Amino acid sequence: MLRSPKTRIAVAFLGFMLAWWPSPSFSEVLTIRYGQAYSAARSIFSLPISVATGEGLFAREGLNVEVLVPIPGGADNMIAALHNDSVDITHVATPFLIRAASGSSDAAAIAAEFNNPIYSLIAKPEIATILDLKGKLVGLADEYGTITLSMRKLMESHGLRRGEFGARIIEGTSARWACLRRGDCDAVVLGQPQDLIAQEQGYRLLGHSTESVPELLYTVTAARRSWAEENKPALVRYVRALAAAFRFVRDPHNRDHVAHVIMQSTGSSEPIARQTLSLFLEPDRGVLPKQGEIGLDGLGRVIALMGEAGALKGPLPAPDRFVDLQYLQAAGVQ
């Protein structure tokens, strides 16, 4: 039977709406408050949440995710935000989760966000090698975080030992990048897109964190176990949407669109956004999870690094102490 042009348009529009509208099985839209650090909000680490929000993947799951940015002052505040009821779930680097959960916190990782971040040691143009940093000032992140731990291992592998250079703890890639631009730091640790922008402007790349520590579980979504047990349907929906976001990012057909998302969320240029994706995916360096699955081996490596640095005392805890896999399992991800 032939349809009129108006009818064909109406049918196409209805199909589009049904594809993206929350499933009729969701009797109500559930709300989750997601905590995001200032340092992550304008960096590549916002990518999975930006995609899940912008592509309607949360909405498709009948979920309203309110992205909240807690007060600045360090990544420890992310776990504190769970306990003071500022947020329901939060983005957090694993060392801070491990520290908190080794104490009185009942927080646990429910999904992975980034596995193996590629952090760059970027220096002033006149500094040619890592050994040239002797007697210089290097801007690092939290002393017992994986960024600094992996960078110290990188520098030691090139013959630069602790105490042979000055270290300034500066939270956030943007703040470290500002220190380098002002000339106050001789070298800093940067993530994307700032490290690529710096190289474009003539600053020198001395090495990558993945040269010394190739396998990690870097950032996760965490929740209090007590809250999670009472809100399992919402968390399962969240994990399903996050898994869909990772699949979307990894699909080569979406490369142009994902580059645009990176440009919007980080303020970077199109060439820098494309370089970032190429760095991650050509070849696949394991930076991103496949679907938000949690790799216990990578988490175990973080624990080992913290033990080497004296941030954890022996005997070192097993990685499964800090995760709750039931939500990934219920979503069919792990």
d(C-alpha 55, C-alpha 242), whole Å: 11
What's the pLDDT score for residue 72?
64
Residue 42 pLDDT class (50, 70, 90 cuts): confident
Intrachain domains 21-115+216-330 and 120-211 with the same fold: yes
Closest CA to 263 of 251, 275, 280, 252: 275
What's the pLDDT score for residue 74?
63
Read off the pLDDT of residues 139-162 as tens digits, 9 standing for 90 and up. Answer: 999 888 889 999 999 999 999 999
Q: What angle do CA 185, 277, 143 make, to 5 degrees?
A: 35
Q: Strands 219-224 and 89-93: what pairing? A: antiparallel
The answer, yes or no, to whether residue 19 has pLDDT greater than 50, is: no
Residue 39 pLDDT class (50, 70, 90 cuts): confident
Q: Which two tokens stand for residue 115?
A: 């596995």
One-character DSSP codes across 123-137: E-TT--SGGGGTT-E
Indicate the class that CATH gives domain 21-115+216-330. alpha beta
Read off the pLDDT of residues 178-199 as tens digits, 9 standing for 90 and up. Answer: 999 999 999 999 999 999 999 9
What's the pLDDT score for residue 2?
39
The domain ranges of the chain are: 21-115+216-330, 120-211
Burial class from Cβ neighbours inside 10 Å (0-12, 13-18, 19+) for residue 8 reads exposed
d(C-alpha 193, C-alpha 42), whole Å: 9
Q: What is the CATH number of domain 120-211?
A: 3.40.190.10
d(C-alpha 321, C-alpha 313), whole Å: 15
What is the percent of the chain where pLDDT is above 90?
A: 81
Average pLDDT over residues 92-111: 96
What's the pLDDT score for residue 71?
66
Residue 11 pLDDT class (50, 70, 90 cuts): very low
Q: Which helix (H) or strand (E) holds 207?
A: strand 204-208
